[in-house]
Amino acid sequence: MVTSHPWTTGGVVLKASVLKAVEEEALAGYTRDEEACGYLKGPAAEPLLCDEHVRMENIANKLHAIDPERYFRTARTFFDFNGKRFSDAVERGAAEGRPIKVLYHSHLDAGAYFSPTDAAMMSGGEPPAEEGGQIAMGPGPAFPLAFLVTSVRGGSGEGRPEGKPSIAEHRLFVWDGAAFVASTFSVID
């Protein structure tokens, strides 16, 4: 399949410094008890390369404070961001020849998977109305992106120092036309 946005089919290449920035932000988010989120950019001339990290504010706690019934999850288990700012950044990046290629977020004390809520939100569908409720998938992502999920685990455990959070894993997901599926990425210096 030929696409004008090759990163949407996987095989993304992350600069080590970019992945390190994602990890640092994910760890900082863990200490704030919230999922971190942001995006990765890179040159249009090297369509799979991401060489820039941009943090976004997770506004889930603000939404929860305004309407705890509708936004029943806090930033510990949910992420959202200013959609207008993100849309403007996507347009600006494309115009400057440095498109946004990957949207990332972290999971706290959970695996690096694309949850049903993630899938509903990122496909333009409907998230659950209550914990454990049904989701409705949408037609697909509003922007041509791949999606990176980083798992951060705290406390003691295999390979983790007592009480100090650490990165457990990263996984990349892409939209295959019907669902988000795991894909590949690599890291370079």
The confidence score (pLDDT) of residue 3 equals: 67
Per-residue pLDDT at 141 exceeds 60: yes
| Domain coverage including residue 128 | 9-166
Closest CA to 71 of 86, 82, 59, 83: 59
- Stretch 11-25: mean pLDDT: 98
| Residue 139 located in a structural domain | yes
Per-residue pLDDT at 52 exceeds 50: yes
| Residue 2 located in a structural domain | no
- Stretch 2-16: mean pLDDT: 91
Q: What is the C-alpha separation between 119 and 49, in angstroms, rounded? A: 24
| Residue 21 located in a structural domain | yes
Residue 158 pLDDT grade (very low, low, confident, very high; cuts 50, 70, 90): low
DSSP symbols for the chain:
---S-GGGGS-EEEEHHHHHHHHHHHHHHHHTTS--EEEEE--TTSTTEE-EEEEE---HHHHHHH-TTTS-S-TTT-----HHHHHHHHHHHHHTT--EEEEEEEEESS-S---HHHHHHHTT-B--SSTT---B--SS-SSS-EEEEEEEE-SSBTTB-TT--EEEEEEEEEE-SSSEEEE-EEEE-
Per-residue pLDDT at 157 exceeds 70: no
The confidence score (pLDDT) of residue 1 equals: 47
| Residue 60 located in a structural domain | yes
The confidence score (pLDDT) of residue 4 equals: 87
Asked whether the beta carbons of 67 and 133 are under 8 A apart, the reply is no
The domain spanning residue 108 has which CATH number? 3.40.140.10
- Stretch 39-59: mean pLDDT: 98
| Residue 114 located in a structural domain | yes
| Residue 28 located in a structural domain | yes
- Stretch 65-76: mean pLDDT: 95
User: What is the pLDDT of the chain when averaged over all its residues?
Assistant: 94
**Pairing status of strand 180-183 against strand 166-175:** antiparallel
Task: Between 156 and 42, name the one with better pLDDT.
Answer: 42
| Residue 88 located in a structural domain | yes
Number of domains in the chain: 1
Residue 156 pLDDT grade (very low, low, confident, very high; cuts 50, 70, 90): low
Per-residue pLDDT at 128 exceeds 50: yes
Residue 146 pLDDT grade (very low, low, confident, very high; cuts 50, 70, 90): very high
| Residue 171 located in a structural domain | no
